[in-house]
């Protein structure tokens, strides 16, 4: 078990290294930052000086290792725009994305699992068919479209909820959160629902498939034959077993929400990491883009690892073993 | 190679080695079975008709649209932001879906936008299909190190959200329809590669492949002529669903302002243009292109969902 985790950890490290090389190659080598930084009237000699001061005259592999060495210390340079450390800019925005993603995931699980179990129990009922068709809409409609429609309905026409921005924040230790006060929650609700629409559809499908797979199994029949109440059969025997795929998909999707928040945050002008990424891409603020990407790579890779480990805890039959 | 191909005895043997799906009479009846299964779902037929209508509208947009929305000369700035159903000054054009901030007829703009959205979707999915299928087939056929390496690349790519990969590529490449297509191909080929590999691994051990190998046919001929045709059904399912995905992704990228240029607005661009007017109550500028986008994506998904039930019964999710 331990050696398997170590091996997966090494694999994860390798993935992070490969991705860092790709990010480096993709963003640092395309275009010439010197042309952007030096004034247009600069002579060739002056440009050469800038190039040397930035270390751009060194061979490629040396530049990469310098980049890597700094990256380990979370130093990705300063934003071209504000001059602040790129990493700090992102970390400042992180709590906003964190609460958005968490509430969205919570909503989609709270709605998706019961609906999915229902659709799995009565696959031919009208309700189940409606749920399944609805779920097709849920994950086929683009995220920004759903957000737009929600804004139109709840913000413009009904005027119940704000169309964008973040409510007042309160400090909880290192995190500034807005989810625990009413005004903040109101602002959070629409963007969270936007993300939850797509994720909920996926959770419904996964839950339904798992339920249908579990129902004909002997232990369910046995539990029923023992005369257990239906709530207990479903709530304990069924739920525990369908939890495995739900945790896997849920965990992986939670990571995806972090990245997909890019779209939703832009629609709702939510001041999170995703909005920062889009703004930085549009203003060509490379250090911020690179820092965001590296952070996301590490985050997603770690999440994949954690999901794999959670998998073995939930399902003793699965072992993190080396492939034969 | 040319001698091999002209040898009649070999061709006859190869026809035998050919899977039964390609023999003509069986082929026809399989089509009929497929059609009968397809029309069994009213929802899927509805989706198919809707999709067909969208394609026809997009292809014939210049003849159907009452106005060329990209011809600045025909636009009259006095007509900007007209609500749905209003007519222009001379009463010659009725703006059934209203006009946008530059006095463009929304209905015409939607037809032209549909054209761009569908074009980007079809081209990117077709290329991604071919690249992915080639990678997947090679990976499955040769196995071993090649397989491990190729699938590792696929896994890494699939573990990152497609929107993020596309965003970064466009940040590097810049704006433009061609660049959006490159980005979409780059994010989609991996899905096809994995599906093709899955299908080809099953086919690899079938007798007809063995027969073809016994005749010492070249590996690319076996893969292309024998294995590939049998992998098409599951790949078609992926292709349909990916088409919807590609169109939605393109719309998202254009909405975010990194996709198609302003001069060639797709549906996503139109929605983005109207977004700023949404708050002031001019809902139609965003709303109708949004509905058009939703209809296309839903139509394709209804077809794809049913195709999956018919062609790929193993896949439950």
**Mutate: best of A18, A140, A149, A162, partner B, most B CBs <10 A:** A140
Residue B98 predicted with pLDDT over 80: no
User: Any residues with CB less than 8 A from the CB of A281 and at least 6 apart, and which?
Assistant: A289, B167, B171, B258
More confident residue, A178 or B154: B154
Question: How high is the mean pLDDT of chain A?
Answer: 80
Helix H segments across chain B?
2-6, 8-17, 24-38, 42-59, 61-64, 106-142, 144-158, 162-173, 177-204, 207-214, 219-221, 228-256, 267-278, 284-311
| Chain A residues closer than 8 Å to B171 by CB | 27, 281, 289
For the segment B109-123, what is each residue's pLDDT rounded down to a tens digit? 888 888 889 999 999
Name the nearest CA neighbour of A189 among A226, A151, A133. A151
Cα–Cα distance, B70 to B76 (Å, whole number): 12
Mean pLDDT of B304-308: 83
Q: What are φ and ψ of residue B120, in 5° steps?
A: -60, -45
pLDDT band at B170 (very low <50, low <70, confident <90, very high): confident
Question: How high is the mean pLDDT of chain B?
Answer: 78
Q: Would an 8 Å CB–CB cutoff place B53 in contact with chain A?
A: no
Angle at B186 between CA B185 and CA B191, to 5 degrees: 80
Range from A33-42, A170-179, A215-224, B186-195 carrying the lowest mean pLDDT: A33-42
| Chain A residues closer than 8 Å to B167 by CB | 262, 277-278, 281
Residue B87 predicted with pLDDT over 70: no
Q: What pLDDT, on a 0 to 100 scale, did the predictor assign at position B2?
A: 40
Three-class SS of residue B231?
helix
Q: What pLDDT, on a 0 to 100 scale, did the predictor assign at position B13?
A: 46
For the segment B207-223, what is each residue's pLDDT rounded down to a tens digit? 888 888 888 888 888 88
Range from A24-33, B151-160, B172-181 carrying the lowest mean pLDDT: A24-33
Three-class SS of residue B159?
coil
Q: Are A100 and A265 in contact (CB under 8 A)?
A: yes
Q: What pLDDT, on a 0 to 100 scale, did the predictor assign at position A133?
A: 82
Min Cα–Cα distance to chain B from A26, Å: 7
| Chain B residues closer than 8 Å to A256 by CB | 161
Min Cα–Cα distance to chain B from A145, Å: 7
For the segment A95-150, what is each residue's pLDDT rounded down to a tens digit? 888 888 889 999 999 999 999 988 888 888 888 888 888 888 887 888 888 888 88
By C-alpha distance, the chain A residue nearest B161 is A256
| Chain A residues closer than 8 Å to B287 by CB | 152
Mean pLDDT of B290-304: 88
Residue A323 predicted with pLDDT over 60: no
For the segment B130-157, what is each residue's pLDDT rounded down to a tens digit? 999 999 989 888 888 888 888 888 887 8
Mean pLDDT of A16-23: 81
So what's the ipTM on this one?
Answer: 0.76
Residue B73 predicted with pLDDT over 70: no
List Cα–Cα distances, B151 to B136, B143, B195, B224, in angstroms: 8, 10, 11, 20
């Amino acid at each position: 078990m331990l050696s398997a985790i170590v091996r997966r950890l090494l694999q994860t490290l390798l993935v992070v290294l490969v991705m860092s090389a790709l990010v480096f190659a993709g963003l640092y080598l395309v275009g010439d930052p010197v042309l952007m930084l030096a004034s247009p009237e600069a002579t060739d000699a002056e440009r050469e000086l800038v190039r040397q001061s930035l270390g751009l005259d060194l061979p490629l592999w040396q530049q990469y290792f310098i980049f890597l060495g700094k990256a380990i210390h979370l130093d990705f340079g300063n934003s071209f725009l504000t001059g602040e450390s790129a990493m700090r800019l992102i970390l400042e925005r992180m709590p906003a994305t964190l609460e958005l993603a968490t509430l969205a995931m919570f909503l989609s699980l709270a709605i998706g699992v019961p609906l999915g179990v229902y659709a799995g129990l009565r696959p031919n009922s009208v309700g189940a068919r409606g749920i399944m068709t609805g779920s097709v809409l849920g994950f086929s409609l683009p995220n920004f479209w759903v957000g737009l429609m929600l804004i139109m309905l709840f913000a413009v026409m009904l005027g119940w909820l704000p169309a964008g921005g973040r409510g007042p924040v309160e400090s909880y230790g290192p995190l500034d959160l807005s989810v625990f006060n009413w005004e903040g929650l109101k602002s959070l609700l629409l963007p969270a629902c936007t993300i939850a629409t797509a994720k909920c559809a996926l959770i419904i499908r996964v839950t339904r498939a798992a339920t249908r797979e579990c129902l004909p199994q002997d232990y369910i029949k046995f539990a029923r034959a023992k005369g257990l109440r239906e709530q207990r059969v479903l709530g304990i025997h069924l739920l525990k077993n369908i939890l495995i795929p739900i945790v896997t998909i849920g965990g992986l999707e939670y990571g995806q929400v972090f990245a997909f928040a890019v779209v939703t945050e832009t629609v709702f002008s939510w001041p999170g990491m995703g909005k920062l990424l889009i703004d930085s891409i549009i203003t060509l603020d490379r250090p911020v883009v690179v820092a965001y990407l590296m952070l996301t790579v590490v985050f997603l890779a770690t999440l994949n690892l954690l999901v794999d480990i959670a998998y073995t805890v939930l399902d003793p039959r699965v072992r993190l073993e080396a492939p034969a | 190679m040319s001698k091999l191909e002209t040898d009649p005895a070999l061709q006859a043997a190869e026809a035998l080695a050919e899977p039964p799906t390609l023999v003509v009479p069986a082929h026809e009846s399989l089509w009929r079975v497929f059609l009968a299964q397809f029309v069994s779902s009213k929802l899927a037929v509805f989706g198919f008709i809707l999709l067909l209508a969208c394609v026809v509208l997009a292809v014939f947009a210049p003849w159907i649209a009452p106005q060329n929305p990209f011809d600045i000369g025909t636009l009259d700035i006095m007509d900007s932001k007209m609500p749905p159903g209003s007519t222009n000054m001379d009463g010659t054009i009725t703006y059934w879906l209203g006009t946008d901030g530059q006095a463009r007829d929304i209905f015409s703009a939607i037809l032209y936008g549909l054209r761009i959205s569908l074009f980007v979707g079809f081209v990117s999915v077709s290329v991604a299909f071919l690249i992915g299928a080639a990678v997947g087939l090679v990976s499955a056929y040769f196995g071993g190190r090649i397989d491990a390496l190729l699938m590792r690349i696929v896994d890494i790519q699939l573990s990152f959200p497609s929107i993020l990969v596309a965003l970064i590529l466009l940040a590097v490449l810049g704006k433009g329809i061609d660049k959006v297509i490159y980005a979409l191909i780059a994010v989609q080929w991996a899905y096809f590669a994995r599906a093709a590999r899955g299908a080809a691994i099953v086919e690899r051990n079938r007798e007809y492949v063995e027969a073809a190998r016994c005749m010492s046919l070249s590996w690319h001929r076996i893969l292309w002529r024998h294995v590939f045709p049998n992998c098409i059904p599951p790949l078609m399912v992926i292709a349909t669903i990916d088409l919807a995905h590609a169109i939605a992704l393109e719309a998202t990228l254009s909405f975010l302002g990194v996709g198609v240029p302003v001069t060639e607005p797709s549906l996503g661009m139109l929605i983005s243009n109207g977004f700023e007017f949404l708050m002031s109550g001019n809902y139609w500028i965003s709303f109708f292109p949004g509905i058009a986008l939703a209809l296309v994506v839903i139509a394709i998904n209804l077809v794809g969902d049913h195709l999956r039930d018919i062609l790929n019964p193993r896949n439950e999710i």
